[in-house]
Amino acid sequence: MAESQREQKIGIAGASTTGTLALTAAAMFPEITLTIAMTPSDFVWQGFMQGKKDGCKEWPVEGESLFSYAGKPLPYMPFCYQHPDYWHCIAAESKRTGDMVNSRKLFDDSEAAHPIEPEEYIPVENIHGKLLLIGAEDDVLWDAARYIHRMEKRLAEKPHECEVETAVYAHGTHFVSRREC
């Protein structure tokens, strides 16, 4: 068989924001037949920047989606906190809990303030091939376990062509790794 006639397989993987990106891409491109998403969200967030601005290390970009396609922003769920309150929320939670990546309050408050619109969800039912979703209940960055459970429910309710496997651990944090004592 000629090289050009062989079946071509494409996979995509990501963790956290890139896990959300992997899901978004796989939902848009049927040629992706393996999708691995660790600690993803099930919807697109408002865009954000990292660096240094007014004493903040991260801030939302007003009117910007986290992802775009063909030069157009994808529908997104906005953060309820804008600059500089966005970073102040993260810093206060990190200080309160002693965990340097604790931003769950920011994400939970944002979802409570702005119920997710249908077009902001990632249409995971459009994903082809194999789909692996991994998360942990003790994720303090965002509620990846809840997002994964919503995707399971969505896939149970909608026709789809993917073979899904989920792994939601009690412990593993946002990085789904063994916590050292």
Q: What is the CATH number of the domain that holds 139?
A: 3.40.50.1820
Residue 101 identity: V
Name the strands in the sheet holding 10-15, side by side, starting at the edge strand that comes first in the sequence: 10-15, 32-38, 128-136, 161-169
Residue 30 lies in a domain: yes
Residue 89 lies in a domain: yes
Per residue in 38-60, pLDDT (tens digit) is 999 999 999 999 999 999 999 99
So what's the pLDDT on residue 8?
80
Nearest partner of 154 among 128, 121, 108, judged by Cα: 121
So what's the pLDDT on residue 99?
84
- What mean pLDDT is reported for the chain? 93
Residues 61 and 148 in one domain: no
Residues 63 and 94 in one domain: yes
So what's the pLDDT on residue 1?
43
So what's the pLDDT on residue 91?
94
Residue 177 lies in a domain: yes
Strands 56-65 and 46-53: antiparallel
Residue 129 lies in a domain: yes
Give the C-alpha separation, 140 to 84, whole Å.
21
Range of the domain at 18: 10-42+121-181
Residue 99 lies in a domain: yes
**By the 8 A CB rule, do 122 and 24 touch?**
yes
Top pLDDT among 133 and 100 is at: 133
State the average pLDDT over residues 124-139.
97
Give the C-alpha separation, 179 to 170, whole Å.
12
So what's the pLDDT on residue 4?
57
At 118, list the tokens: 């249908």
Residue 88 lies in a domain: yes
Q: How many domains does the chain have?
A: 2
Residue 1 lies in a domain: no
